[in-house]
A and B are shown apart, each in its own frame.
Chain A
Amino acid sequence: MNQSHRRPEICSLCALVCELPDGSTESPRLDGFCSKQARLKPFVPIRLQSIQLQVSQDDAALTKVTQRIEQASAILVSGRIHSVESARSAIELANRFSATIDPWDSDGAFDAIASLQRVGGYSVSLGEARDHSDLWIVVGDDRLLEQTPRLPFAMHRGGSQRLLLLGTWSDASVRIWQAAGFEVLCLSVCVEGVPKYLSQATRLGQDHCQTELGKWILQAQYTTILYSPWALQVTYRDLWSDLLSRWVLTRNETARIATLCWGSLQSTFHQTCTWLTGFPGRIHFDNQQAFYDPNRFAAKDWCRRQDSGDQIARRSLLLWIDDSLDELPDELVEQNIPKLIIGPNQNKLACPSDLWLPTGIMGVTHSANIFRGDQTILAKIPVEGRGSPTHYLSPSDWVGRLLR
């Protein structure tokens, strides 16, 4: 196979997996590229230069860690697991040590999954909607742009495309959508009622339709409704999705319309876990068999249960696998559960018994496969051209050593 082509560098900071423009990180072409995100976290390659990771390859450390795992009476594998490689390792670890596994903050994903398992739906991928959709409806609030700053630019194909913003959007956000090239209509509505609102707006048909919203939808050839479970301020996200999906499925009997449920980086874990075990996560392994219960095996509930008794807490163990650059969540730091952290940050170690196995950074020191937010494209984040410093271990390297 001819390998002489230019492979893109890909940003792994959010699930949009943007290809980075040609040139070095100092290139002026990066100006304005994801500036909002960049304010929160320095651009990854730059950050790497300022990070001096301590790397312990000491067998004694591994032995200590293995002992701790073997002594634990209950184990939760959790964390921010963003790559296929880390997900595989985390699942293997959970399988080997009969642990429970659920990534942190998975409520949004599981609400979307619950709805899919009950009703199904009609969805569209980002590239399809970009090329084909003449009307976008985006439901949510500014958080969508904070998490995925370049989303509007990835959605717009050039030429005239209409976009309806439903929810609570600041003027600054509206300006970003406009800057991407959309003709924007922003309606400040309570997100809770959106599925009902959409179905009412289209019920009367084009000749009798009273609202601007209804007219836009009825005129459109192909409508895409984009939302993200983690940027949805509603009481019951799963029921909200049920309603929306039912309406979309029915409407497709005569017209073309689809949803685009935008996932976070953690969707890579759910995908990987689904193909390996048949379940998207929230499973407990017993005797090499996976038992799925989205209501019983949620990470936060597990921690709450363990933390309720001092004795129990000390005998349990949280195996935290981290592909992000973030600190450990505060709510976890406060809890009295011993932790083993496999990730790039030492974090604020709460328990004196906490252990840390330091890793390099995904996409910088080790390559990784991660899903785009629509879960259609699995992007390979390469490390070529970034000087691939081989002495940094990845989470899967560490797990491989532990399992050996």
Chain B
Amino acid sequence: MRVTRLKNVRIVDGLQGSSRPTDLYILDKTLARKIPADLRIDADYDLENHVVMAGGIDIHTHIGGGKVNLARLLWPERSKKLDDQKPWLAPLSAPVPGTWETGRRYLQMGYTTCFEPAMLPANARQSHIEMRDTPWLDTGGYVVLGNDRMLLNMLASRASQQQVNDYVAWMVVSSAAMAIKVVNAGGIDAFKFNQRQLNVDETHPQLPVTPRDILWSLSTAAEELGLAHPLHVHCSNLGTPGNIDSTLATLDAVEGRRIHLTHAQYHCYGKSGPHGFSSEASKLADRVNRSNHISIDVGQVLFGQTITLSADTMHQFANRKLASPRKQIFQDLECQAGCGLLPFKYKESQYVHGLQWAIGLELFLRIQDPKRVFLTTDHPNGGPFTGYPHLIRLLMDYDFRMSIFDRLHRDVKATSSLPSLKREYRLDEIASITRLGPARALGLQQRGHLSPGSIADVVVYRNDDNAETMFANPVMVFRRGQLVLRNGEILDDCPKTVLVSEFETRSVAMQWGNHSSHREQWEKLYGYSPWLTALTDQEFADEGLDVEHALWQPAD
């Protein structure tokens, strides 16, 4: 057994505040606080003035699949590295870089597990293969449902919840998914019929189904199946002034079942204020504070050039004139969803962009439980993931936050309540929003914290008053106990794992595709059999990947 000791280090994992300097052991691939006296220590690191955290977990980052690859294609220009002295502050070569660069840059920030949140069932194999080609990260994906005509037809014909559950179970297993995501429930399909908006209680243009029906039946399926992660929801009316109403209606639609709202920053806008656009972050934060069954990730906006990409063709198309530079890609995809891509530049001087920045921070600062609000930029939508250390500094340092706030459009300064939020995140709260919280929300029992027996994905940071410097530049990263990065330099490759959801009926879920009436319906809709796009564990084994099954357990 290989034993590594991290000596005199402060343990920060969100389970309790920062520890006093202590020793942490890595025994092969897992963690321990003590070891038998007769064990020989193979590697010993004295880490006074350092903190150790679990590997970062990104619950929502677009890193693999058709639209991600289109975003790469859309941006052939490459930026030059800006600062040789501080390579960690260098921008990505492009807003959506290739998989090699993505894996490297995540590792260089201390992230070890990432989830692609929008796998189209028909395109799940591509998503997984791209993630397989993203080194150093363990990965998983959420399968997009709720605009798939198969489900819409089932709901329209008033299929039983059991039939819906069986279908959802098949989709989750055949896509090797961690969770189900719904994007603008029913709205993407409605747009294919030339409808430009669909509110939570509006009926689909062709079928007697409303977004509320879809949200209810999918959240029920997630709960009754016992999926590791609750329904992951991109609400209706993305980015539209006044969308707080439909966001709250979405929360009502699941009637108390667990729900995760993604990139919530884009979904809590009012329409008052100087430009008909205002913050309603406090309304959403209040709701989250009052309801233990809701978690969110923020989708923080960071200033600069990026590409926005979303399965929500309806709203991406509505925003197409905002593309900068002026080029856009849209797709209607395989009776399941679509995608829209717009290059986009967030500017400090622009009222809406400045307010979006403030709204995201408001959510972080107003939501009290750091285990139910997670740090994301919805990479690349709010900005590339390499902005995380900067975002952490914004949360930990009021003066720094205000120094940027002071540069924003004067109407943002006149109307935003951000200055009154004096809260500064502590290190253990940062560990919660980047590790422990996402792990709990995803049913990853052995990740996200440093308890004895958990997976030895470990990051060591040097204490620094400047949190951005600290989090952009880990001193060491261990993957499964193996030292893979030291002082920014990558030492070695490491094996990779695919994370999928465990649930009780998982072992029989694939039988759905053998059922003759299901096959008939599928072939009629798609023109091919259900098995053309279905993935198997064997494929992952052929690619040299382990498969880990995540299981939800209620938090104590």
Contact = CB atoms under 8 A, between A and B. Distances in A.
Given A5-B531, A123-B331, A258-B332, A276 B192 contact: no
Contact of A131 (B94, B149, B193): B149
B69 interface: yes
A88 B135 CA distance: 14
Interface string B38-79: 000000000000000000000000001010110011101010
Contacts of A132: 192, 332, 335
Nearest to A158: B524
B463 interface: no
A378 interface: yes
Given A132-B192, A252-B317, A256-B194, A116 B74 contact: yes
Size bin of chain A's contact surface: 35 or more
Given A157-B527, A280-B73, A369 B125 contact: yes
B193 A256 contact: yes
Given A19-B529, A117-B73, A117-B327, A1 B133 contact: no
Contacts of A157: 524, 527
Task: Give the one of B68, B330, B508 with max A CB within 10 A.
Answer: B330
A277 B334 contact: no
A275 B64 contact: yes
Contacts of A8: 528-529, 531-532
A125 B536 CA distance: 24
Interface in A5-19: 5-8, 10, 17, 19
A275 B69 contact: yes
Interface string B111-138: 0000000001011011001100100000
Nearest to B323: A120
B532 A377 contact: yes
A17 B69 CA distance: 21
Given A125-B334, A256-B193, A276-B99, A116 B73 contact: yes
Contact of B194 (A131, A221, A249): A221
A128 B529 contact: no
B98 A278 contact: yes
A4 B99 CA distance: 33
B526 interface: yes
Given A2-B510, A369-B125, A377-B533, A131 B526 contact: yes
Interface string A112-140: 01001111111111111011100000000
A222 interface: yes
Interface in A232-288: 249, 252, 255-256, 258, 271, 274-280
Contacts of B327: 117-120
Interface in B524-549: 524-529, 531-534, 536-539, 542
B123 A378 contact: yes
Contacts of B93: 278
A279 B332 CA distance: 24
Interface in B153-196: 173, 192-194
A262 B520 CA distance: 27
A19 B530 CA distance: 11
Contacts of B85: none
A377 B101 contact: no
Contacts of B74: 116-117, 120
Nearest to B63: A275
Contacts of B122: 125, 127, 376-377
Given A125-B331, A276-B100, A375-B66, A113 B73 contact: yes
A166 to B, nearest CB: 22
Contacts of B539: 380
Contacts of B97: 278
Contact of B525 (A1, A116, A131, A292): A131
Interface in A69-127: 84, 88, 113, 116-127
B495 to A, nearest CB: 17
A27 interface: no
B193 A221 contact: yes
A201 B214 CA distance: 40
B71 to A, nearest CB: 10
Interface string B415-451: 0000000000000000000000000000000000000
Given A125-B332, A127-B526, A275 B125 contact: no
Given A3-B536, A292-B76, A369 B527 contact: no
B341 A84 contact: no
Interface in A206-234: 221-222
B249 interface: no
B193 A277 contact: no
Contacts of A402: none
Nearest to B539: A380
Contacts of B120: 376
Contact of B532 (A19, A369, A375): A19
A351 interface: no
Contacts of A271: 69, 126
A55 interface: no
Contact of A88 (B78, B98, B133): B133
Contacts of A119: 327
A369 B540 CA distance: 13
B15 interface: no
A1 B528 contact: no
**Chain B CB within 10 Å — which of A17, A158, A376 has the most?**
A376
Given A276-B133, A278-B93, A369-B129, A1 B510 contact: yes
A154 B527 CA distance: 7
A364 to B, nearest CB: 17
27 contacts: A1-B536, A2-B507, A2-B510, A122-B329, A122-B330, A124-B333, A127-B122, A131-B525, A157-B527, A252-B317, A258-B330, A271-B126, A274-B73, A275-B64, A275-B68, A275-B98, A275-B99, A275-B133, A276-B98, A276-B99, A278-B72, A278-B78, A292-B78, A377-B122, A378-B126, A379-B125, A379-B532
The 3 tightest CB contacts between A and B, nearest first, are A278-B98, A127-B334, A120-B327
Interface of A: 1-8, 10, 17, 19, 84, 88, 113, 116-128, 130-132, 154, 157-158, 221-222, 249, 252, 255-256, 258, 271, 274-280, 292, 367, 369, 371, 375-380
Given A126-B334, A258-B331, 13 more contacts: A1-B537, A88-B133, A116-B73, A116-B329, A118-B327, A120-B329, A128-B332, A252-B330, A275-B72, A278-B101, A371-B126, A376-B123, A377-B125
